[in-house]
Structure 1
Amino acid sequence: SELHEPFCDLVETLTERFAAAGLGLRGDRKKSLFRINRDVRFSNDKRPYNRHLSAILSPDGTKMEQGVFYVHIGLERCFSGVAWWQPSPELLLAMRNAIAARPEKYRALVAALKKNGLEFETEDRMKRTPRGFEHVTDSDLAEAIRNRHFYVQHAIDPAGIHSPALVDELVDFTLRAKPLLDWGRAIQGKAQ
């Protein structure tokens, strides 16, 4: 409770700031947060399910939409991310097709992110190129096509989580990651 309310305030403040910046991301105190506890009524293990607070701000304000901002404040680590995380098979195929068909746009995205001090994370990348994309031989494009997710991360200093400057830091990070949101939205057909 003593952590939950300030975290809810952070989500609401970020929603206001993201709207002012034209990022098209919003959240709410109830729908955006992940639960800390599981149902422990009949369990001998009463420990919390999660040892962190986390929330997603998305275009529709729910956790089900793609092209999101994620914030994670925990005992082990604190970070935020902008992601197309676990896109539907149709959207992932469309993203891969876009990389293969318009490599210059994908490379421009990578360059824009790099200019902003960001780069794609490679966690959970496929070992081999998916079927149907064997013709893509450029190593940078082949690696991109093997991605299951497209996301960038920003480490948050745990000492600064109580600082009002945290909101500015997260808004700045999200603005730097906006090319990723725009790229995915254009593919998804929801360009803003």
Structure 2
Amino acid sequence: MAARRSRAAGDQTTAAMAFSADTFRFLKALDFHQDRAWFQANREMYEQTVRSPMVATVDAVTAVMRRRKLPFLGDPRTAILRIHRDVRFTKDKRPFNAYAAMMLTRTGRRESEGKFYLQIDPKGSFVAAGFYRPAPADLLKLRRAIAARPARFLAMQTALKRGGLALDPEEQLTRRPSGFAEPDPRIEAAIRLKSFFVLRNLATADIVDPAVLTTACVGFAAAAMPLMRFGWDVLA
């Protein structure tokens, strides 16, 4: 009897630490209301269905990352993105992000270049990794490295492909940036990129199972390592 009670308590604790249908319901409602008074009235629901599962996810993912010797670090205090938006420098004055997200880096500091990112979002959840909108000086270094040694860059792309990944083409210039002669046609598109990252969508069924979500995050991070090693080497 005691053993059954212990197992039941453990199951309840695990469920409380997992994302669920209530997570998505809360985020959809938050997106609809976008109201600070509403958020305060429903803060307990946010803590239970969004923040607590994200804390558990950061802990679980980083623990497995360490065991797998994948260089992504972070803790819930710094890795979890704030639900409150910074509206000081944008025309969009909605006060809340209608998604939950976490970010890991090789130093554990958010400002470090090269990031692993997880977003839980009713409009589409995903994991991503790479160098998103790097500073102009770093972007120039990456472009120059690609142009100087195309074979190394192409080998990195091939390694990504073996893991089922490819650089996302969304963030790119319409024309070749100034200062670059006509490059090898195989790297023409890469020279125009403004970000260097890979992305994989996540199904809701995977998100609500903590073990499956952790495995998906760590597996994706391992597959993204050719890109991370390339970027870290260039920006060292």
What secondary structure sits across from 1:31 in the alignment? helix
TM-score by length of 2: 0.73
Task: Say whether residues 1:171 and 2:218 are aligned partners.
Answer: yes
Tell me the equivalent position of 2:131: 84
1:1-192 aligned within 5 A: 1-2=47-48, 3-38=50-85, 49-136=96-183, 138-163=184-209, 164-189=211-236
Runs ≥4 in structure 1, deviation > 4 angstroms?
none
Distance 2:72 2:95 in 1: 29
Distance 2:94 2:132 in 1: 28
Tell me the equivalent position of 1:43: none
Computing the radius of gyration from Cα coordinates, the structure with the larger value is 2
- Does the 8 Å CA contact 2:114/2:129 hold for their aligned counterparts? yes
Cα offset for 1:62?
A: 2.4
Identity %: 32
What secondary structure sits across from 1:184 in the alignment? helix
- What is the number of residues matched between the two proteins? 183
- Does the 8 Å CA contact 1:67/1:185 hold for their aligned counterparts? yes
Alignment RMSD (CA, Å): 1.8
Distance 1:84 1:22 in 2: 20
In structure 1, give the amino acid aligned to 2:189. Answer: E
- Does the 8 Å CA contact 1:56/1:62 hold for their aligned counterparts? no
What secondary structure sits across from 1:11 in the alignment? helix
